[in-house]
Chains A and B, each alone.
Chain A
Amino acid sequence: MDDSQAIRRLKNGDIGGLEILVARYQHKAVQTAYLITHDEQLAEDVAQDTFVRVYQRIRHFDEARPFAPYLLRSVANAALNAAEKSARWVQFGAGTDVERVAELLAEAVSVEEQAEYARLKGEIALALAALPPRQRTAIVQRYYLGMNEKEMAESLSAAPGTVKWLLNAARQHLRGLLHPERSAE
């Protein structure tokens, strides 16, 4: 059964259609959310809530269109919202920038040696974690979900120039090495 058939089942009130879609895309949905939230539990919550929202709004979904991009972009947006909410907490970060993440990704793509690949993955994870949620989302949308700048601009409610900035702003400094231990001063 393909996605469109599952969606038609779901549109017709058959929860089995949702079961198929969840089984097919839950892992990718949680991965997407995790890359943005960096919180396993929050990522699962975000993915669950997005599936619930899909269920609630399925009548508006055109089954002639591909489902996976729709779902995963929704997950990315929900994860950004969740990450920005949780960003009210105290944050500690070493500081990084999107260009650095992009460079590391490019390096990891070309590396042959397993140990070096493992090291680079660790570096990317750390660098990603130190980005603010919106920039993390930009990275995930561009490099994980393969969205183009126009799509990202729509998704992030930002002008295309802002997205370009998000992706290309060289050496965006985020915070100093020494960071206050409280966000509330």
Chain B
Amino acid sequence: MNLKDPARVLDDISNEQLPPDLDLLPGILAKIQQGNPTTMKPATKWRLAALLLALVLLVTFISLPAVATAAATALKNLIGYIPGVGTVDQAAPLRVLANPVTATRDGFTITVDNAVLDSTRTVLTYRISGPFPTWDDPSRRPAMCQEFPILRLADGRELAYPSREGGFGGGESTWKDVFPAVPAGETRAALVLPCLAELPAGDGPQNWEIPLAFAPAPPDMTVYPVVELPTPLPAATQAAAPGNGMVFTLQGIAALDEGYFLDTLLSWEMDPAMLDVQVYPDAIHLVDAGGQEVSVWPADLNPPAAPTGDQSLALKFQTAPVLTPGPANLVLDYVAVGMAASTSFTIDLGSSPQPGQTWELNKDLEVNGYPLRVVSAEYVQTPPGEPTMLMLYLASDSGLLTITAMDREHEILGTGGSPGSDQVPFRAGWYYKDGFPQGIVTVDITMISVRRAGPWSITWTPPAAAVVSEATPAAFCPDEPPSPAAPGGLPAGLGGRVAFSEGENHELFAANLDGSGRIPLGPGFFPDLSPDGQRVVYRELESGLVLRDLAGGEGQLIPGTGGEGVSDLRPMWSPDGRQIAFDRVANHTSDIYRVDPDGSDLQAILNGPEDESLLGWAPDGGRLFYGVTVADGQSIRVLDLPTGRSVEAALLPFSAHQVSLSPDGRRIATIDDRGIFLFPLDGQEPVLLLANPVEFANPIWSPDGRWILMSYWPSGDNSLRSPALLQPDTCLLLLVEEKVGDWLSSWVP
């Protein structure tokens, strides 16, 4: 019996390509330990740029005084980088599209989303959607629209032949067209599309003319400053290793919200044997100081091959965040070098070649000293009336990447091909103008592109450490925290009631702090004791919020809580015990609600698009503290209930998962893998109380705010040993023998 299903098939396919001994944890922990350098406030970007520049200037002045003038010039020549657009020259004011423009005809819609205009070029991005046709067989696709867009200025002048890249998927094509600069002062132009790409030539609406209006760029537009590095660079800052005729150098850097922009240059000496030089995307790698590969991709249009006479090729990259501090290596493994070739061979197509026919050839050739096997040839089927095509299937393990081949004895319309990869074969072919030939044809290989091996590398130190260090205050308590004393009794005078859960079934309990008076509540989460300690509210395992009188009786579901598609969490009593606030997760968002204990007056307090997460009530009952995940971390906000206005009280790092609000509403205790932190909510700097506190979790403030009760979880031991008490103002740390559960949740007098 066959037990496979599609998931199993896909499982097998991916398993064959992946190593069995996968271990992602070290990399994940490294990224977590570095905090989140992927996010920076806008001001930080400029601080970072200034820091980068300062470093460059410093090293330059120290080690190479002669280039001081060049470095100073670099300061004046800051250019900018916009992800998705590329570099922009800010010598003159930037302009942008005043408003997105949409035009629809015959079911096709063109939407121009963006334009960025500087003194050197005009970058347009737009989308085309509509009923694009499909073809059963790719080779039967007719000739497609080949006419380029034009940017027509108000006075009739035309900017033509843009550099461009595009993609097609999901019934929509997207384009980035780069035109020459629109003169300063021109506020209008028209994007003219003679026909639509991805449609057969002549099909669909033709001659589009889409009016565009330009306006000054808004002052808050994100343009990352690029620090241009002086050339040549001192060896101390960069190791540009010459080798195999190529030199790879770093020209400029920009620190982005997520990663970096790197402006590099590959240069070479004139070599008459080379026609051109091109860099393929798989040839570039970025490796951080910890040996981790970091994603890197082109920051602008992938540059075409540069003629050898240019002697250089500008390569711009964007990277993912570099999380490990220290020198990173940008490595170029190889380049593709174009060369003229002159090798011929023949194919006997017979007297009556048929579309779809293939010829097994297995001819072994040598092209410019590179072995090449011509495996087979195919008469590719094309639609009636379309030019016919002969395709060669090739193989080479000698470094040959592509070849250009043609039949010079017959008139041809064009050639093409692809280098081999895991997914597509190595091939080359051409179209015949006047039908497929018969008999013996001679194939001329006129050009080849070969792999010239590097590696060439740039060593560069990202300033990640400077960013990370901003969030790491010095420890308040001694570096080596006092070893917890042997478990003992509670400090004199400390008591009250607590609620907690235990065991794998999330059994909830209420008890006195010394463990006496334990009352089982059943399975659930987030038990919260009422201020008078008489009642408890918690999230029942499968339903909603349950209220229970600790003097006796069963728990009662609070009407209106729980239900299909709704998950109510973290209930918290108001200081007067008359309301319960809680998180409601529904439709993939988390909002804050309130309800009276009897289920009446259930209403949303905060239900905006952000994910709000309740932290607690202020002692006056008129304000609520809550957290929102933002780009920079967790924003701790205070909602004034009468006015509905919120203000930010603190910004916590993402790593601060366990957050506990002090009873006076003035401080927040958090624990993450770096330590126990106190975050004042009055804008003062956070305080690291104890470093290396991996044994502690789940802080809960004592009702008087003098102690923090935590679960003590010794490293390497998954079983709870004992609760711990920390007095934040004195660093006194005590283990207590009273057993108050695995997961502390609430503590009242």
User: Does B507 count as interface, using CB distance less than 8 angstroms?
Assistant: no
User: Does B643 count as interface, using CB distance less than 8 angstroms?
Assistant: no
- Contact among B138, B294, B303, B539 for A184, CB-based, below 8 A: B303
Contacting A at CB under 8 A, from B682-735, are 694, 696-698, 711, 713, 718
- Contact among B22, B138, B657 for A58, CB-based, below 8 A: B657
A48 touches B7 (CB 8 A): no
A89 touches B297 (CB 8 A): yes
* Bound CA span A51–B5, Å: 27
Contacting B at CB under 8 A, from A95-127, are 95, 97, 105-106, 108-112, 117, 120-121, 124-126
- Contact A177 to B657, CB < 8 A, known contacts A30-B22, A140-B10: no
- Contact A130 to B423, CB < 8 A, known contacts A16-B718, A35-B10, A52-B32: yes
Complex contacts, A148 vs chain B, CB 8 Å: none
- Contact among A1, A12, A173 for B697, CB-based, below 8 A: A12
> Which of B2, B295, B569, B590 is most buried by chain A, counting CB atoms within 10 A of its CB?
B295
Contacting A at CB under 8 A, from B125-184, are 133-136, 138-139, 141, 148, 163-171
B25 touches A132 (CB 8 A): no
User: Does A13 count as interface, using CB distance less than 8 angstroms?
Assistant: yes
> A47: shortest Cβ distance to chain B, in Å?
6
Complex contacts, A183 vs chain B, CB 8 Å: 165-166, 301-302
> A179: shortest Cβ distance to chain B, in Å?
6
* Bound CA span A154–B588, Å: 10
B611 touches A48 (CB 8 A): no
Query: From B143, which residue of chain A is reached at the shortest CB distance?
Result: A176
Query: From A127, which residue of chain B is reached at the shortest CB distance?
Result: B423
- Contact A8 to B655, CB < 8 A, known contacts A34-B14, A135-B170: no
> B279: shortest Cβ distance to chain A, in Å?
10
Complex contacts, B698 vs chain A, CB 8 Å: 12-13
Complex contacts, B32 vs chain A, CB 8 Å: 15, 52, 55
Complex contacts, B8 vs chain A, CB 8 Å: 109
* Bound CA span A59–B656, Å: 9
> A51: shortest Cβ distance to chain B, in Å?
5
- Contact among A31, A87, A95, A185 for B167, CB-based, below 8 A: A87
Complex contacts, A19 vs chain B, CB 8 Å: 25
User: Does B245 count as interface, using CB distance less than 8 angstroms?
Assistant: no
> Which of A10, A14, A35, A171 is most buried by chain B, counting CB atoms within 10 A of its CB?
A14
B504 touches A15 (CB 8 A): no
- Contact among B24, B148, B611 for A22, CB-based, below 8 A: B24
Query: From A42, which residue of chain B is reached at the shortest CB distance?
Result: B295
- Contact among B22, B389, B585 for A177, CB-based, below 8 A: B389
Q: Which of B108-116, B411-419, B596-604 is near enough to bind chain A? A: B411-419
A56 touches B417 (CB 8 A): no
- Contact A13 to B169, CB < 8 A, known contacts A45-B320, A56-B36: no
* Bound CA span A15–B380, Å: 58
The number of residue pairs between A and B whose CB atoms lie closer than 8 Å in the complex comes to 272
> A162: shortest Cβ distance to chain B, in Å?
6
Interface size class of A (residues with CB under 8 A): 35 or more
User: Does B28 count as interface, using CB distance less than 8 angstroms?
Assistant: yes
* Bound CA span A143–B10, Å: 8
- Contact among B13, B25, B611 for A60, CB-based, below 8 A: B611
Contacting A at CB under 8 A, from B606-656, are 611, 613, 627, 629, 634, 654-655
B585 touches A112 (CB 8 A): no
A165 touches B170 (CB 8 A): yes
B138 touches A181 (CB 8 A): no
Complex contacts, B654 vs chain A, CB 8 Å: 55-57
Complex contacts, B7 vs chain A, CB 8 Å: 143-146
Query: From B627, which residue of chain A is reached at the shortest CB distance?
Result: A59
Query: From A95, which residue of chain B is reached at the shortest CB distance?
Result: B138
B504 touches A12 (CB 8 A): no
- Contact among B136, B293, B422 for A41, CB-based, below 8 A: B293
B169 touches A134 (CB 8 A): yes
- Contact A48 to B27, CB < 8 A, known contacts A31-B18, A132-B168, A173-B141: yes
* Bound CA span A32–B588, Å: 22
- Contact among A34, A52, A128, A166 for B170, CB-based, below 8 A: A166
Complex contacts, B697 vs chain A, CB 8 Å: 9, 12-14
A52 touches B167 (CB 8 A): no
* Bound CA span A64–B543, Å: 10
Query: Mask for B6-47, Cβ within 8 A of A = 1, else 0?
Result: 111111111111110011110111011000100000000000
The 6 closest A-B pairs by CB, nearest first: A95-B138, A89-B281, A132-B169, A178-B416, A56-B654, A173-B135
Could you name 10 residue pairs across A and B whose Cβ atoms are closer than 8 Å? Answer: A4-B506, A16-B713, A26-B22, A55-B657, A56-B629, A93-B423, A109-B4, A162-B171, A179-B418, A184-B304
Q: Besides the contacts A13-B671, A108-B4, A143-B6, what 18 more A-B pairs have beta carbons closer than 8 Å?
A: A1-B504, A13-B670, A22-B25, A30-B14, A30-B22, A49-B31, A52-B28, A55-B654, A59-B659, A63-B525, A64-B525, A64-B539, A82-B295, A85-B295, A89-B297, A124-B9, A183-B165, A184-B303
